[in-house]
Structures are given as C-alpha cells and as structure tokens.
Amino acid sequence: EAILSCKHKFSKGMSLRIEWKKIQPQGVSFVYYNGKFTGDLRGRAEMLNTGIRIRNVTRKDSGTYRCEISAKSEEGQRLGEATITLTVLVAPTTPVCEVPSSAMTGTVVELSCKETEGSPPSEYQWYKNGVALLENTRTGSARAANITYTMNKKSGTLLFNTVTKNDTGEYFCEAFNGIGLSQKCSVKRMQVDDLNISAIIIAVVVVALVMALCGLGVFYAQKKGYFAS
C-alpha cells in the first residue's frame, strides 16, 4: 500500500471541501471528488482524514497527485493545496532479445534487448559465451581490448559495424533496475561466416549456361520454322 499524506492548518470548525487530482501529460483528472473515489482507485483506496491510502498499488499508480482543500470561514473562502509524487517501483520482467542466427562477415549487425515493465526503466548488459561484454566508451582501454562493437546499456542495443568470424558465439542479455532480481533472456547463437565466393561463381556459371541453352533452343526453333505464322 501507499499513503499520500495531506495535512492542513484550518480550524476544526471550518467546513472543508477535499479534492484529489492526478496530473498527467494528457491532462488533469479527478481521483477523489464529491466524497467518492473515481477511476482505477475506486474500490481500493480510502480516505485517512484528508490523506489517501491506496491498496495493491500498481505501476499505473505512479505519477503526481495534488491535494486541494477549500474551507469556508467568516472571512470568506480559503484554499490550500499540496503536490505529491508517487513512484511505484517494479522489478524488471524477462527481456525480449533479438539475435540473428547467421550473418556475413563485414556486414552491420544489431542485437536488441528490451523489457517495458520495470520502474525505474531497466538498463541492459549483454553476454557472449557467458562472459559479460565490456562497454565500448571509445576510450583507450576499449581500443586496447580491440572492441569492435558498441553496447548501449540504456537502449539495450549491441551494434557490430563490421562483424567478423570472431563474433560467432552464444549471446544473451540481462535487464536490471535495482529492484528485485535481474532477468535474462534465453541464450541465442549467432554464426558469422565468410562470403562464399566459390558458391557465387558456380551460381553465376550455372545461370549463364541456362541462359545460353535457352538462347540455343530459341535459335534452333526459329531455324526449324516453329515461329513461322
């Protein structure tokens, strides 16, 4: 549960009107209005004097809340308000990893890792053959280690600008945000191979022979008069 406290210094004899609102990017909505809770809090929130107790908080309850209290007195209407930010912490879920099963040397290859439930947002760590990959900060230590990739821990991407056969291996990603246990995706293997020049040459020769045979067939058919009117 979470308790949003809202204290005031109005006299006990004053007639108070209490409203709670949630401030969101798309606008301001009522949470408590005219003596009743509205929206998602209906049925799982209660008033504590002028504050709110929320049971079974979820990630959707995160946000900025505003308590507004108006009081009637002999001097007239008086208004007070307070703003409270509620952050609901959520452990990461199992991330979704995209790893190509095969790639050709010299090409650009990107591996991605993402999960959307963690609060605060998760950071990501990639592993190759069970060993954590170093973060490429383009510093001297990274160059000394001969790192050929760029790993972005915020976005979860692992980018190879020119992938090599040495990058062949089993990859997985870990998501963590400091809340609960970190979560890992399943291991996926990426096989990097050289461009098969011999196979390309053979394919070109075969295509050329097929086209030559087709041409000979057309020439023979025309010579025999098969195309005559």
Residue 142: predicted pLDDT: 44
Average pLDDT over residues 156-179: 95
Average pLDDT over residues 219-229: 65
Length of the chain: 229
CB of 81 closer than 8 Å to CB of 66: yes
Return the percentage of the chain with pLDDT > 70, whole number: 80
How sure is the predictor about 209, in pLDDT bands with cuts at 50, 70 and 90? confident
Pairwise CA distance, residues 162 & 160, whole Å: 5
Pairwise CA distance, residues 54 & 99, whole Å: 41
Indicate the CATH number for domain 2-86: 2.60.40.10
Instruction: Please determine whether the domains at 2-86 and 96-193 fall in the same fold group of CATH.
Output: yes
Residue 229: predicted pLDDT: 53
The DSSP output letter for 92 is -
Pairwise CA distance, residues 117 & 140, whole Å: 36
CB atoms within 10 A of CB 52: 24
User: Quick one: tokens of 136?
Assistant: 């490429």
How sure is the predictor about 110, in pLDDT bands with cuts at 50, 70 and 90? very high
Name the CATH superfamily, with its identifier, for domain 96-193: Immunoglobulins (2.60.40.10)
The domain ranges of the chain are 2-86, 96-193
What's the one-letter identity of residue 153?
K
Residue 50: predicted pLDDT: 87
Residue 55: predicted pLDDT: 94
Give, in degrees to the nearest 5, the angle at Cα 111 between 108 and 117: 150
How sure is the predictor about 89, in pLDDT bands with cuts at 50, 70 and 90? very high
Give, in degrees to the nearest 5, the angle at Cα 83 between 82 and 86: 135
